[in-house]
Amino acid sequence: MNIEVSYDDLIPNNVDLSGDPKLKRALEQWHPGYIDWWKTAGPDGYQEDEVYLRTAVSVDPKGWAKFGYVKMPEYRWGVLLSPAIEGRTIPFGEHKGEPAWQEVPGEYRSLMRRLIVIQGDTEPASVEQQRALGATAPSLYDLRNLFQVNVEEGRHLWAMVYLLQKYFGRDGREEAAALLERRSGHDDNPRMLGAFNEKTPDWLSFFMFTFFTDRDGKMQLDSLAQSGFDPLSRTCRFMLTEEAHHMFVGETGVGRVIQRTCEGMKEAGIDDPYDIEAIRKLGLIDLPTLQKKAWLHYSLSMDLFGAEVSTNAANAFNSGIKGRFQETKIDDDHQLLNDTYPVLKKVGDKFEFVDTPALSALNGRLRDDYSGDCEKGVGRWNKIIEKAGVDFKLKLSHSAFNRKIGEFSEIEATPDGDILTADEWEARKDEFLPNPSDMDYITSLMKPVYGIGEYANWIAAPKVGIDNKPGDFEYVRLDQS
Ligand code: BYC
Ligand code: FE
Ligand code: FE
């Protein structure tokens, strides 16, 4: 196992690919289909332009990436695993304390494969969802960040395909091929999970997606990084390093929109954040609309955790395949056979926490951890609003709001958690979720701003550049195509 990555092979790797000719051949056979997928389903245009991207050159947490201009199809997508931890044991479940597996135990093969396929499916899905955004970026800096996220989601697909092809034989190769065939939003062959078939039609959606939905990625990858199957654990640990940037793009993206709106309101002498007409006249995104967008993406992302109470989740934990968020830092027996966990449920006409066997409640618990993590980010957004002296506070929606999966899939509720009848929901949903006129307004703002160092009117410039570059840095060289 190397910290350094070998770039001599077609497929950069630190897994000694040249020592495993069969796997090398399988990956090399998959490679042209991947490039074809990238060119037809990945970023629309810009494929010949030089983009200032980071490429992983090592798995050392300090200094794993190098920056440079790259044409996207020439990006070195590779297979990178975090270093093995010597003597690592299975941290949870019925096999707790046994040596971590280096091969997939036969009895867990299909469960493990299913989770890896689902994880793998989300990665290309997000690239497909973001395909058209290059046409309307608010700056070259943002355009570069989009493409950075895209190439890394592409690499995350490689990460799962490596596991499938190395450890799951013929089934794995078939699943790897199918990952290139499904398409986000496709009628006949869609991506596997709900939120990954939604549209990401504009840049506010992109920032919300990378804040809320990539954060599901963080939670799920962390849980899979706990796995007793060591190659899965090491793969996910390295993916988490890249994931941090995606959430940074989302949090700072939304933060910059908020900042610009607050500044613009001040300049124009508008005190009332609900004076939507006046704020939109300035070409800014009003905070109430931004709030609705946040509720939409938060609720869609909550559905990605599956049902709060789930035997699939119990099985995955018990068998040592998927742990809890930061499993090894939790102070308990890591087996949960006699424990309970409070799950919010609708009891009569009220919401109540109901003690539920902890093993079955693991999706609910992970989702709660996710909400806590989102809450912190929202708090940082509110600081920007507060500092600007605007009287408005963003908040997360109630977990029963706009849900399609789990405990609350059959009921309707307001973002505050007041239960609504189906008719009341129909009559009021435009108050809570972006309505067609909100979306038309946001779409009307989406005009590319590709002058060096320039930014669209509706978003503030970032505080610092990528790789500490100055404000007038040319993040994408558009002159080639
Ligand atoms: N949509 O017991 P249940 C990321 C299905 S994001 C459609 O409730 P389970 C990224 C479920 O498959 C992280 N179907 O749930 C972010 C099952 O179907 P089958 C992605 C859904 O299995 C941004 C049935 O309902 N990684 O990386 O405990 C950009 C009952 O299942 C949905 C993972 O998700 C849904 N939302 O949990 C790029 C980790 N939810 O099998 C990338 C791997 C549930 O009965 N996946 N169903 O036909 C898992 O751990 C689990 O599969 C889930 C579901 C947490 C997703
Ligand atoms: Fe990813
Ligand atoms: Fe991501």
The CA 303 to ligand 1 mean position distance, Å, reads: 8
- Residue whose Cα lies nearest atom 44 of ligand 1: it is 306
Helix axes 169-179, 109-129, angle to 10 degrees: 20
State how beta strands 350-357 and 412-413 pair: unpaired
pLDDT at res. 3: 67
- Is 212 near ligand 1, meaning CB less than 6 Å away? no
pLDDT at res. 9: 78
Hey, what are 71's tokens?
A: 């044409």
The CA 238 to ligand 1 mean position distance, Å, reads: 21
Give mean pLDDT in consecutive 10-residue pieces for the chain, a chain of 481 residues.
72 92 95 97 97 90 87 94 96 98 97 98 98 98 98 98 97 98 98 96 98 98 98 97 96 98 98 98 98 98 98 98 98 97 97 98 98 98 98 98 98 98 98 98 98 97 95 89 51
The CA 210 to ligand 3 mean position distance, Å, reads: 7
The CA 244 to ligand 3 mean position distance, Å, reads: 8
pLDDT at res. 2: 59
- Is 459 near ligand 1, meaning CB less than 6 Å away? no
Q: Is residue 2 situated within a structural domain?
A: no
- Residue whose Cα lies nearest atom 4 of ligand 1: it is 217
Tell me which residue range forms the domain holding 315: 17-480
pLDDT at res. 5: 79
Ligand 1, pocket-test mutation among 179, 212, 215, 220, most atoms within 8 A of CB: 220
Ligand closest in space to the Cα of 245: 3
CATH of the domain at 129: 1.10.620.20
Cα four-point dihedral sign 43, 48, 53, 56 = positive
- Is 392 near ligand 1, meaning CB less than 6 Å away? no
pLDDT at res. 1: 52
Residue with tokens 């003597």: 87
Q: What is the C-alpha to C-alpha distance for residues 199 and 196, in angstroms, rounded to an integer?
A: 8
- Is 374 near ligand 1, meaning CB less than 6 Å away? no
Ligand closest in space to the Cα of 155: 2
How many domains is the chain partitioned into structurally?
1
Q: What is the C-alpha to C-alpha distance for residues 397 and 401, in angstroms, rounded to an integer?
A: 6
pLDDT at res. 480: 57
- Is 119 near ligand 1, meaning CB less than 6 Å away? yes
Q: Is residue 251 situated within a structural domain?
A: yes
Distances (CA, A) of 28 to 22, 155, 348: 10, 15, 57
Q: Is residue 9 situated within a structural domain?
A: no
pLDDT at res. 473: 96
- Residue whose Cα lies nearest atom 46 of ligand 1: it is 115
Q: What is the DSSP string of 201-232?
A: -SHHHHHHIIIIIHHHHHHHHHHHHT-SBHHH
- Is 312 near ligand 1, meaning CB less than 6 Å away? yes
Q: Is residue 8 situated within a structural domain?
A: no
pLDDT at res. 60: 83
Q: Is residue 73 situated within a structural domain?
A: yes
